[in-house]
């Protein structure tokens, strides 16, 4: 393919993606609003992803404690393990890992579901029956992913801190000291950062998943392609925007 | 089963009642640089059925999607009930579509929903009274003789049954315009005849306007030479080898209209492409 053609295609895709995201968000304020679909999606994303988020959160906290405690022991600073675990969990790993897990599970799910609907003309049928697919399919998915990802991230943060505590206690760190240092370490900007990230990641997961689903062409093969692309693109965007937000908070709050 | 007593009054017409129901004016459309339809002009008056024939990949599905405003034309105008659909807002377009029923090529049933919810889709959307919804769903399914399948899911149905559910879904509001995209595509000859009979029943009982796309010449022949008899609940040949006056045939060839007219005109046509097509 010619390079100019390639670039033109990518620019068009970004433009279409932006339009879809914008419409999905402004639809929140337009009638009709599909509450039932919002609820179904929230259940699917929130409850469905809870087990994997709990597991990954717990063991990530554990492995953080394992690594930091053994390193800190060399400096005689094992007592600050709690600080390290809670800061890393809440600022970075909780949001990012939860985002990546939900992206693997739900961005792909959305892309394949909407993609199959697209190639079997169900999306067209919906429009033909007087229903706007952006309102009915996209907006509820975007909104529920944003909301649920915040809760899932909080769960992951909590489980990570717990997992860190469990490992610390096996390494001879006093538990109450661990939790004390974990709690003391947190400042308002850290918590803010940890909660803004899932808002953005949720938005990325759902809009990217829905965009690739809605723009699927070329039968069942196309559905497979969209699904893979949705996971790859949303994961990269999550990690990239995580970097940007971390930069921004350091610029704003100095930590 | 008696059809006559279940005839609901048709929806009040919208737009200009004297204008053709659909009108294409110099419509062209293409994808990725190659054109699919070129300068297409035709219209369907109220009560008319236009049968669009053409080879696979000839732009028949695209033509129906243009007629429903699902895609905009690259050039030219599509008028529905006398109004240019390009000039309608998104909201107005959705309102317009409530007067149009569409049967998609592969039925396009929502596979997460039961037959009942598929057929009722539009009514549930309009939040009509549940009792009324039930009555109309049953009525619509009765029309396609599938009342017994109301609680089934699309995956449990055969291709022919799916097509019938799609018809039931399209006609539930008794729209002023029906668009059938290859309703017999991929079906065996016997099932195809059943579907064509249903289309004919809809045409002759409700006198709705319709565009029907098919690649099977036989569908066009049957629809042009038969009418539906409500007393026997069957289709029958029009006597004296007559043809239905409200059925027009249109043949697409490489994006152009190669022929429009009645079946009689088609059979008399001297155009080599048409003669080859008929052969
Ligand atoms: N969304 C699309 N993007 C690109 N090409 C398309 C699209 N839809 C249809 N086409 C092309 O337009 C042509 C006509 O398609 P269609 O109307 O489906 O034909 P048919 O007469 O078999 O129904 C085909 O060559 C198809 O590849
Ligand atoms: Mg087609």
Q: What is the pLDDT of residue B14?
A: 65
pTM comes to 0.90
Quote the tokens at residue B115: 């037959």
pLDDT of residue B107: 92
**CA separation for the pair A139, A21 (Å, rounded):** 9
SS3 B222: helix
Euclidean distance between CA atoms A150 and A25, whole angstroms: 17
3-state secondary structure of B215: coil
- Backbone φ and ψ for A132, nearest 5 degrees, come out as -80, 115
Angle at the Cα of B65 from the Cα atoms of B62 and B71, rounded to 5 degrees: 95
**Does the residue A5 lie in any domain?**
no
Instruction: For ligand 1, pick from B27, B30, B36 the residue to mutate: most ligand atoms within 8 Å of CB.
Output: B36
pLDDT in tens, B182-219: 999 889 999 999 999 999 999 999 888 999 999 889 99
Instruction: Give yes or no for a cis peptide into A32 (omega within 30° of 0).
Output: yes
Residue B117, judged by CB atoms within 10 A of its CB (0-12, 13-18, 19+), counts as middle
Residue A233 covered by a domain: yes
Asked, for residue A167, whether it belongs to a domain, the answer is yes
* Interface with chain B: mutation pick from A27, A30, A114, A129, highest number of B CBs within 10 Å: A129
Q: Is position A24 within any domain?
A: no
Separation of CA B108 and ligand 2 centre (Å): 13
- What percent of chain B stands above pLDDT 90? 66
Two tokens at B136? 């109309």
CB contact under 8 A, A129 and B70: no
Per DSSP bridges, beta strands B256-261 and B247-253 are: antiparallel
- The residue of chain B nearest to residue A122, with distances taken between CA atoms, is B108
With respect to residue A123, please indicate whether it lies within any of the assigned structural domains. yes
Q: What angle do CA A157, A161, A167 make, to 5 degrees?
A: 145
Looking at the partner chain, which of B65, B102, B108 has a beta carbon nearest the beta carbon of A122? B108
Residue B11 has pLDDT above 60, yes or no: no
Q: Would you say residue A49 lies in a domain?
A: yes
Question: Into how many domains does chain A fold?
Answer: 1
Q: B213: CA distance to ligand 2 center in Å?
A: 8
Instruction: Give SS3 for A223.
Output: helix
* Cα A67 from Cα A81, distance rounded (Å): 9
Is A6 part of a structural domain of the chain?
no
> Torsion over CA of B90, B96, B100 and B102, rounded to 10 degrees?
0
pLDDT of amino acid B13: 53
Q: Which two tokens stand for residue B53?
A: 């024939």
**Domain membership of residue A68 as a residue range:** 33-253
Q: Residues 6 or more apart from B176 whose CB is under 8 A from it?
A: B10, B11, B13, B14, B21, B46, B81, B99, B100, B208, B209
The neighbour count for residue A103, using CB atoms within 10 Å, is 28
Q: How far separated are the first and last CA of chain A, in Å rounded?
A: 46
Contacts of A128 in chain B (CB under 8 A): 68, 70, 97, 100, 102, 104
How much is the CA Rg of chain B, to the nearest whole Å? 18
Given a cut of 60, is residue B7 above it in pLDDT?
no
Token pair 């009722």: residue: B120
| Residue B248 to chain A, least CA–CA distance (Å) | 24
B227 contacts: CB under 8 Å, gap ≥ 6? B200, B204, B235, B236, B238, B244
How close are the terminal C-alpha atoms of chain B, in Å?
40
Q: Which domains does chain B have, with CATH numbers?
A: 22-112+178-278 (3.40.50.300)
pLDDT, tens only, A113-155: 999 999 999 999 999 998 999 999 999 999 999 999 999 999 9
Read off the pLDDT of residues A24-75 as tens digits, 9 standing for 90 and up: 999 999 888 999 999 999 999 999 999 999 999 999 999 999 999 888 888 8
Quick one: pLDDT at residue B2?
41
Q: What is the ipTM of this complex?
A: 0.89
Residues A96 and B119: their CA atoms lie apart, in Å, by 43
A168/A162 Cα distance (integer angstroms)? 10
CB-based contact (8 Å) between A40 and chain B?
A: no
Q: Do A124 and B95 touch (CB under 8 A)?
A: no
| Mean pLDDT, range B43-71, rounded to an integer | 93
Predicted pLDDT at A1: 65
Tell me which residue of A143, A156, A160, A149 sits closest to A52, measured CA to CA.
Answer: A156
Tokens standing for residue A148: 């649920």
Whole-number Å distance between alpha carbons of A210 and A226: 10
Q: What is the tens place of the pLDDT at every residue in B239-260?
A: 888 899 999 999 999 999 999 9
Polymer length in residues for chain B: 279
């Amino acid at each position: 393919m010619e390079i100019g053609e390639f670039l033109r295609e990518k620019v068009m895709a970004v433009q279409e993606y932006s339009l879809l995201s914008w419409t999905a968000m402004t639809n929140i304020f337009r009638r009709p609003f599909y509450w039932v679909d919002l609820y179904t999606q929230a259940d699917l994303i929130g409850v469905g992803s809870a087990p994997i988020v709990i597991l990954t959160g717990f063991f990530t906290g554990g492995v953080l404690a394992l690594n930091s405690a053994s390193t800190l022991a060399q400096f005689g600073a094992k007592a600050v393990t709690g600080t390290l675990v809670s800061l890393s969990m809440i600022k970075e790993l909780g949001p990012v890992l939860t985002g990546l897990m939900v992206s693997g599970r739900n961005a792909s799910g959305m892309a394949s579901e909407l993609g199959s609907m697209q190639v079997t003309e169900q999306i067209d049928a919906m429009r033909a029956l007087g229903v706007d697919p952006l309102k009915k399919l996209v907006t509820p998915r975007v909104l529920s992913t944003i909301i649920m990802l915040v809760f899932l991230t909080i769960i992951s943060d909590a489980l990570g801190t717990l997992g860190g505590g469990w490992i610390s206690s096996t390494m001879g760190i006093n538990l109450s000291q661990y939790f004390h240092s974990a709690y003391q370490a947190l400042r308002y900007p850290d918590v803010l950062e940890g909660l803004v990230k899932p808002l953005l990641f949720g938005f990325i997961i759902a809009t990217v998943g829905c965009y690739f689903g809605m723009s699927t062409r070329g039968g069942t093969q196309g559905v497979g392609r969209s699904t893979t692309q949705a996971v790859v693109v949303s994961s990269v965007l999550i990690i990239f925007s995580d970097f940007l937000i971390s930069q921004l908070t350091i610029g704003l709050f100095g930590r | 089963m008696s059809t006559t007593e279940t005839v609901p009054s048709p929806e009040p017409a919208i737009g200009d009642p004297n204008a053709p129901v659909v009108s294409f004016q110099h419509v062209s459309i293409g994808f990725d640089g190659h054109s699919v339809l070129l300068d297409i002009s035709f219209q369907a008056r109220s009560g008319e059925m236009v049968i669009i024939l053409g080879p696979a990949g000839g732009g028949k599905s695209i033509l129906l999607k243009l007629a429903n405003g699902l895609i905009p034309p690259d050039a030219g105008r599509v008028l529905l009930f006398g109004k240019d659909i390009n000039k309608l807002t998104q909201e107005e377009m959705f309102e317009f579509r409530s007067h149009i029923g569409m049967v998609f090529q592969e039925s396009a049933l929502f596979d997460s929903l039961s037959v009942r919810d598929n057929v009722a889709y539009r009514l549930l959307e309009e939040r009509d009274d549940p009792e009324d919804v039930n009555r109309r769903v049953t009525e619509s399914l009765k029309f396609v003789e599938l009342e017994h399948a109301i609680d089934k899911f699309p995956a449990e149905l055969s291709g022919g049954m799916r097509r019938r559910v799609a018809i039931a879904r399209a006609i539930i509001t008794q729209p002023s315009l029906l668009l059938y995209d290859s309703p017999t595509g991929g079906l065996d000859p016997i099932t195809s005849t059943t579907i064509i009979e249903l289309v004919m029943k809809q045409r002759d009982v409700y006198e709705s306007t319709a565009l029907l796309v098919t690649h099977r010449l036989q569908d066009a022949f049957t629809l042009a030479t038969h009418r539906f008899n409500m007393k026997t609940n069957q289709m029958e040949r029009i006597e004296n080898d007559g043809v239905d006056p409200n059925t027009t045939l249109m043949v697409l060839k490489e994006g152009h209209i190669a022929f429009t007219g009645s079946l009689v005109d088609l059979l008399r046509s001297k155009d080599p492409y048409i003669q080859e097509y008929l052969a």
